[in-house]
Amino acid sequence: MTRPSYNPDLWPFVRVCQSCLHKQLAKDPATYKSDSWRELACKKCHSIDLDYGSTRPYTPEQIAEYDAYTAWENEHEEG
């Protein structure tokens, strides 16, 4: 099997609400000119309990491709 390809550059920036666990897409906080990203509210419950977020797979296709890559990488670890 050849190494599966996946492109983390296509992953969106995702923030998770710590109150209701809703995942929502957001801009990377590094792109804001101020600290206004801290005041963004959850689109579902409207709390401001969003985590810092990260770039991660979001769609089912991205998640499946990442899982397949991780499984392949675990099978072929150098050791």
Largest CA distance in the chain: 48
pLDDT for the residue 44: 97
What pLDDT sits at residue 12?
Answer: 92
pLDDT value, residue 3:
66
Tokens 């957001």 correspond to 26
* 3-state SS, residue 54: strand
Q: Taking the complete model, does pTM exceed 0.85, yes or no?
A: no
Would you call 74 helix, strand, or coil by DSSP?
Answer: helix
State pLDDT tens for residues 10-36.
Answer: 889 999 999 999 999 999 888 989 998
Give CA–CA dist 22/40, Å, rounded: 13
Task: Give the C-alpha separation, 50 to 53, whole Å.
Answer: 8
Per DSSP, helices labelled H in 5-55 are: none
- What pLDDT, in 10s, does the model give residues 43-58? 999 999 999 999 999 8
